[in-house]
Chains A and B, each alone.
Chain A
Amino acid sequence: MATRASAPNAPVTISTRVDKVGLRPKVTRAIRALVVVILTVLILLPVVWMVMTSLKSPSDVVAVPPKIIFEPSIESFIFLVTERVQFPTRQEADEFRARDDLKWYEEKVAERGQKITRVGDFPKQLRNSFIIAGTSTIFSVLFGVLSAYAFSRFKIPGEGDLLFFILSTRMLPPVAVTIPIFLMYRELGLDNTYFGLILLYTTFNLSFSVWLLKGFIDEIPKEYEEAALVDGYTRLQAFRKVVLPQAVTGIAATTVFCFIFAWNEYAFAAMLTSDATRTAPPSIPSIQGVGRIEWETIAAASLVFLMPVVIVTFALRKHLLRGVTFGAIRKG
């Protein structure tokens, strides 16, 4: 305090915050860290349980009490990619198992008295998810980056209203537009097509994409482009060669958020798709096992489906705040 008094304008170099000079700060910090670790483990428990369930054998899955230690098995993943039937009698099953031309996975399934009839629907549904989410993401980011640039760099008549309009479409509950879109699509023959769902997801992500990218582009100094324009670039060239490379992190973050939304979307997919174009989210909750609920198959499907998102979350952690708060905070 004495030094502070002698030099009132000197910068404060020691913290005087009560929460920083409390009783043994190191100990309290260690306790806090421990509490956070425990809470994190608790929060991740359901996901860990999902991984464990996907590695269990059919009998371990329904064991009472639930088994924490078990012999891992990859049966669930075979179940996931196959369509099977149960042999009507044990005798037939045994006869089938006795054959020596069975592949290893056929043998695994035969042990459960089942026979593989064909490849399951899940691989196709996953592929549909990739096609629809991927394509719609490309378009929403493409249109988004163009609009964001225009809003960021030019005075547009009615700009505020237009931006608010774009934002407000995101607040809209999807249920409010599902009915007319269902009717519209039926009329136009767009239901159960890739194009229909791609168009829908592109639009629903657009508002998000415009706002997020506008924030990123706002941060790129105008001077760079102006210098390029003075050097004889056209506006379009300056956009392509100066702005886009600078906005690359923003574009990457936006791409991933749009992808996650489209990847996870359920309501429209459930309403507008059936067999041929059905995506994974409406399919996983309705996985039907052979003769029972195959929890290990549901877990395996969930796990495979969630993997891309988890990986992406980690890749993106720096941009997460901005992405999920969507316009609520200007700078994350």
Chain B
Amino acid sequence: MSSYSQPTRRRHLGDKRLIQMFIIPTVVLLILMNVFPLIYSLYLSFTEYSAINPTPPEWVGLDNYKKVLSDNLYWHNFAVTGRYALISVSLQMIVGFGLAMLLKEKFKGSGLLTTLILVPMMLSPAVVGAFWKNIFNPSFGIFDQFLGYSDPNTAPEWLGDPDLALWAVVIVDVWMWSPFVMLLSLAGLSAIPDYLYEAAAIDRASAWFQFRRITLPQVMPLLLIAVLFRTIEAFKQFDLVMGLTGGGPSLLQGTQAVNVTETVSVKLFRLAMPPQAQTGLSSAMAYVVLVIIIAISNLYIRALNKVREG
């Protein structure tokens, strides 16, 4: 017994070293590049500090948070982001799930079509945004033409009209990310066991009844995951807006001029970067966003667990 337990044991020790060697680079990198910066910016969020100013950070307590949470100027950005997330994610769910319902039963060429539909999702949002600027142009772009506006003078100006600009961002976002919802829905639909439908057919259940009582509850967990992923992404929305509208156009709201497509991330970026470089304030704003994202994630995870149990 002991004659061969010895080498096994040595190998086990070797394994332990090996695991350490295998895991340490990952953990070190994540701590260095994610955890440390987070702690650092938490500290900065309680200070008055500008990255382009030589004066060291000065502790101001909760002042930055008070400012972010009470000033209408910042509320506007949160409101824009919330509205954008709500509209965009809802539309993506409808379009994506609809596509999945159409594609769930295979036909000749459906594999190729599915792949083609996925192309927008793989593209760079900043580059896509830059190009959609051309598509939205009222005179030589194709979007208005496609909608039937042939006269450039009466055609809607998607990127210049404060009422439409956010919709323009939504349209491009839905175009890019509905395929993602479709992909998740397809995975959910393909996992529904056939016997459920067979049982329903024996009971002569209507197609609508089958959809409502079998299909929908069965794909619900995956749909919720899709909502979660897309909502979090919507709150991070940055590249697409930068490429497409740059946050504009601006609109006079009361006495303040606000940028109608300026999401929190865009605002944050502007606030943090020179020439503004309000490092302390923007750190506080970043933390507010972070807390919102964590809160949303938790809400969904709870809903998800409920769906899974029930």
Q: Which residues of A are at the interface with B, using a C-beta cutoff of 8 A?
A: 12, 15-19, 21-22, 29, 32-33, 35-37, 39-40, 43-47, 49-50, 53, 61-66, 143-144, 146-147, 149-151, 154, 156, 162, 165-166, 169, 171-184, 186, 199-200, 202-204, 206-207, 210, 229, 234-236, 260, 263-264, 266-267, 270-271, 280-282, 284-285, 287, 295, 298-299, 301-302, 305-306, 309-310, 312-314, 317, 320-321, 324-325, 328-329, 332
Give, as a whole number of angstroms, the nearest-CB distance from B60 to chain A.
16
- A173–B290 touching, CB < 8 Å: yes
Contacts A17-B198, A295-B134, A298-B131 hold; do A313 and B115 have CB atoms under 8 A apart? yes
- A266–B145 touching, CB < 8 Å: no
Task: Type the 1/0 row for B108-130, where 1 means its CB is closer than 8 Å to any CB of A.
Answer: 11110111111111111111111
User: Which residues of A lie under 8 Å from residue B179 when comparing CB positions?
Assistant: 43
User: Which residues of A lie under 8 Å from residue B157 when comparing CB positions?
Assistant: none
User: Which residues of A lie under 8 Å from residue B150 when comparing CB positions?
Assistant: 65
Complex Cα gap A263–B123 (Å): 10
Total number of B residues with any Cβ neighbor in A under 8 Å: 104
- A203–B287 touching, CB < 8 Å: no
In the assembled complex, B162 has its CB within 8 A of some CB on chain A: no
Complex Cα gap A284–B127 (Å): 6
Q: Which among A45, A50, A321 is the interface contact of B131 at CB below 8 angstroms?
A: A50
Give, as a whole number of angstroms, the nearest-CB distance from B226 to chain A.
8
User: Which residues of A lie under 8 Å from residue B145 when comparing CB positions?
Assistant: 65-66
Complex Cα gap A46–B133 (Å): 11
User: Which residues of A lie under 8 Å from residue B289 when comparing CB positions?
Assistant: 173, 175-176
- B122–A260 touching, CB < 8 Å: yes
User: Which residues of A lie under 8 Å from residue B264 when comparing CB positions?
Assistant: 175
User: Which residues of B lie under 8 Å from residue A263 when comparing CB positions?
Assistant: 124
Nearest-CB residue, chain B, relative to A303? B131
- B26–A147 touching, CB < 8 Å: yes
- A66–B197 touching, CB < 8 Å: no
Contacts A16-B202, A284-B130, A313-B122 hold; do A176 and B41 have CB atoms under 8 A apart? yes
Q: Which among A29, A184, A281 is the interface contact of B37 at CB below 8 angstroms?
A: A184
Nearest-CB residue, chain A, relative to B124? A264
- A182–B115 touching, CB < 8 Å: no
Contacts A173-B289, A177-B34, A264-B123 hold; do A49 and B22 have CB atoms under 8 A apart? no
Contacts A45-B142, A150-B23 hold; do A179 and B283 have CB atoms under 8 A apart? yes
Give, as a whole number of angstroms, the nearest-CB distance from B285 to chain A.
9
Contacts A43-B120, A329-B222, A332-B187 hold; do A35 and B38 have CB atoms under 8 A apart? no
- A36–B110 touching, CB < 8 Å: yes
- A146–B225 touching, CB < 8 Å: no
For window 209-264 of B, CB contacts with A under 8 Å fall at 210, 222, 225, 229, 232, 235-236, 238-239, 242-243, 264
Complex Cα gap A206–B34 (Å): 11
User: Which residues of A lie under 8 Å from residue B134 when comparing CB positions?
Assistant: 49, 53, 295, 298-299
- A150–B40 touching, CB < 8 Å: no
- B127–A177 touching, CB < 8 Å: no
- A176–B122 touching, CB < 8 Å: no
Contacts A146-B25, A266-B238, A284-B130 hold; do A235 and B18 have CB atoms under 8 A apart? yes
Give, as a whole number of angstroms, the nearest-CB distance from B303 to chain A.
14
- B41–A18 touching, CB < 8 Å: no
Give, as a whole number of angstroms, the nearest-CB distance from A66 to chain B.
5
Complex Cα gap A102–B153 (Å): 43
Q: Which of B66-74, B86-94, B99-107 forms contacts with chain A?
A: B99-107
Complex Cα gap A13–B197 (Å): 14
Complex Cα gap A116–B232 (Å): 46
Complex Cα gap A62–B152 (Å): 12
Question: Nearest 5 A-B pairs (CB), nearest first?
Answer: A180-B37, A264-B124, A285-B130, A146-B22, A203-B33
